[in-house]
C-alpha cells in the first residue's frame, strides 16, 4: 500500500497519525508512507525524526478579520495546486487526514482526483477542517459519540484514537526511582499537557500548604518552559514532587490512583485505554471550547469529575482530590467506566477499515 497522511498544527493531530502509521508499518512493512503537514510547526520536525518522508505546505488559519480570511483563502487556493502535485508524484492508494488546516488542502485535492480518502476526528466537537471535508470523503473515524452523531452515519465509524493502542502496548517501567516517589503511598498525578498551564502553576503557589497533611503523594508536572522558581519554597510539603515533563506516561498512568489533567484528545485516549480515574480541568483556551465537551463525555459516563477553570480554587481542588481518594468504591467505578470508554484496539480496527476501503 501507499498511504499519504496529512496532519498538522498540534500534537493532538500528529501523534495519533504517527501511531497509526507505526502500527500499519508493523503489520505490512512494505507499506510506503508520505506525511504532508505545515512547513514550520511541530510535525515538520517530529515526522522526519521518526523516519517518515515529509513534505511541507504553507497554509493559514481561517480565523481573524475579513482581510486575514481573504489572505488565508488565497493561500488555500494556492495550496490546492501544490497538494495535487504532491499527490501525483507519490501516487497514494489512500489519503488520510488527521486534522489541521493543511488536511483541508490535501484531502480535498485527493477527493477531486478520485483517490480513496478517510478523515479522523479526535475531539467530540468536529473541527473546521473535518466539517468541510466530511461530505467528500469515503470514510470517517471518530472517538466520541457526540462527534459520531454529527457526522454522516452511513460512512462514520466510532473506532477511537490510535494513541490508545500505543499506551496499552507500551512496556512497563519502574517510575518510582525516576520521579523519587514512595512505593508505599498512593500517587496523584497533576499534568496540564506537555507545555503545562501558567494559570494552574500560579494557583499551585497558594495550594501547597493545603497538602501538608496529605497521606498520599503528588507528582506535579510544571510543563516545559514554565516558570517554577516558586517550587524551591521552604514551605513545600514532603508529599509534593515535581517534574518538568513526563517521558513515560503509560508506565506512570498504570500506577496513579488519580490524574488531574486537561481534556486534550490524546490525554483522554490514554487514560481511558488504561482505565485511569480522572479529575479534569478543561482548557478554556481552545477552539470551540472542545476540551470541555471532551471532558463532559467522560463525566456523563461517570469516568471523571470535571471542574471548570473559572470555578477552580486551591481549596476546591484539594477538597475534591481528598474526597475522591477517600472513596475507594467511586475510584474503582471511575476506572471501570473509563476502561469501557477506551478503545485499545483502535489501530487494528482502523487498519481493518482501511483494508475494507481499499477493496471497495
Q: Are residues 97 and 191 in the same domain?
A: no
> What's the pLDDT tens digit per position in 192-206?
987 788 889 889 888
State how far the Cα of 352 lies from the Cα of 358, in Å rounded to an integer: 10
**Are 176 and 102 contained in the same domain?**
no
Verify that 181 and 90 share a domain, yes or no.
no
What CATH code is carried by the domain that includes residue 311? 3.40.50.2000
Query: Quick one: 274 and 326 in the same domain?
Result: yes
Is the same domain home to 128 and 148? yes
Same domain, 284 and 184: yes
What's the rounded Cα separation, in Å, for the pair 266 and 162? Answer: 9
Tell me the HSE value of 249 on the side-chain side, using a 13 A CA sphere. 25
Instruction: Please tell me whether residues 259 and 200 are part of one structural domain.
Output: yes
What's the pLDDT band for 234 if we cut at 50, 70, 90?
low
Query: Does residue 339 have a pLDDT over 90?
Result: yes
Domain shared by 107 and 205, yes or no: no
- Statement to judge: residues 209 and 336 lie in one domain: yes
Question: Model confidence over 14-44: pLDDT tens digits?
Answer: 999 999 999 999 999 999 999 999 888 888 9
Determine the number of helices (DSSP H) and then strands (DSSP E) in the chain: 14, 13
Q: Which domain holds residue 316?
A: 169-341
Q: Are residues 259 and 352 in the same domain?
A: no
CA 149 to mean position of chain CA atoms: 20
Is the full-model pTM beyond 0.75? yes
Total of domains in the chain: 2
The burial class, CB within 10 Å (0-12 / 13-18 / 19+), for 311 is exposed
> Which residues, listed in sequence order, are joined to residue 57 by a DSSP beta bridge?
38
Q: Say if residues 270 and 253 touch (Cβ distance below 8 Å).
A: yes
- Look at residue 27 in the predicted model and tell me its pLDDT: 97
* 7 and 119 inside one domain: yes
The pLDDT-based confidence of 226 (bands split at 50, 70, 90) is low
279 and 138 fall within a common domain: no
* Region 346-355 average pLDDT: 97
Amino acid at each position: 500500500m501507499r498511504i499519504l497522511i496529512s496532519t498538522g498544527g498540534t500534537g493532538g493531530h500528529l501523534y495519533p497519525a504517527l501511531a497509526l502509521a507505526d502500527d500499519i508499518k508493523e503489520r505490512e512493512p512494505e507499506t510506503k508512507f508520505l506525511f504532508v503537514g505545515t512547513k514550520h510547526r511541530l510535525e515538520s520536525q517530529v515526522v522526519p525524526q521518526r523516519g517518515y518522508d515529509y513534505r511541507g505546505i504553507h497554509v493559514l488559519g481561517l480565523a481573524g478579520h475579513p482581510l486575514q480570511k481573504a489572505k488565508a483563502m488565497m493561500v488555500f487556493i494556492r495550496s490546492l495546486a501544490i497538494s495535487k502535485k504532491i499527490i501525483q508524484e507519490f501516487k497514494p492508494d489512500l489519503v488520510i487526514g488527521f486534522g489541521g488546516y493543511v488536511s483541508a488542502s490535501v484531502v480535498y485535492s485527493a477527493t477531486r482526483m478520485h483517490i480513496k480518502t478517510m478523515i479522523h476526528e479526535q475531539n467530540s466537537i468536529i473541527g473546521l477542517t473535518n466539517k468541510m471535508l466530511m461530505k467528500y470523503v469515503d470514510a470517517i473515524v471518530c472517538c466520541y459519540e457526540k462527534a459520531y452523531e454529527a457526522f454522516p452515519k452511513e460512512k462514520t465509524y466510532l473506532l477511537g484514537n490510535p494513541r490508545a493502542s500505543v499506551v496499552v502496548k507500551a512496556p512497563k517501567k519502574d517510575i518510582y526511582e525516576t520521579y523519587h516517589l514512595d512505593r508505599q503511598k498512593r500517587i496523584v498525578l497533576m499534568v496540564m499537557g506537555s507545555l503545562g498551564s501558567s494559570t494552574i502553576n500560579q494557583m499551585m503557589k497558594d495550594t501547597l500548604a493545603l497538602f501538608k497533611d496529605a497521606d498520599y503523594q503528588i507528582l506535579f508536572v510544571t510543563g516545559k518552559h514554565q516558570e517554577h522558581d516558586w517550587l524551591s519554597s521552604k514551605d513545600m510539603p514532603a508529599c509534593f514532587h515535581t517534574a518538568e515533563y513526563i517521558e513515560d506516561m503509560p508506565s506512570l498512568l498504570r500506577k496513579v490512583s488519580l490524574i488531574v489533567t486537561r481534556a486534550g484528545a490524546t490525554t483522554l485516549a490514554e487514560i481511558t485505554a488504561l482505565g485511569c480515574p480522572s479529575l479534569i480541568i478543561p482548557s478554556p483556551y481552545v477552539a470551540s471550547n472542545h476540551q470541555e465537551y471532551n471532558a463532559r463525555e467522560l463525566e456523563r459516563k461517570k469516568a471523571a469529575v470535571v471542574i471548570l477553570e473559572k470555578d477552580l480554587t486551591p481549596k476546591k481542588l484539594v477538597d475534591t482530590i481528598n474526597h475522591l481518594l477517600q472513596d475507594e468504591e467511586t475510584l474503582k467505578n471511575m476506572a471501570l467506566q473509563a476502561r469501557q470508554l477506551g478503545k485499545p484496539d483502535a489501530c487494528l480496527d482502523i487498519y481493518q477499515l482501511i483494508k475494507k476501503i481499499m477493496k471497495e
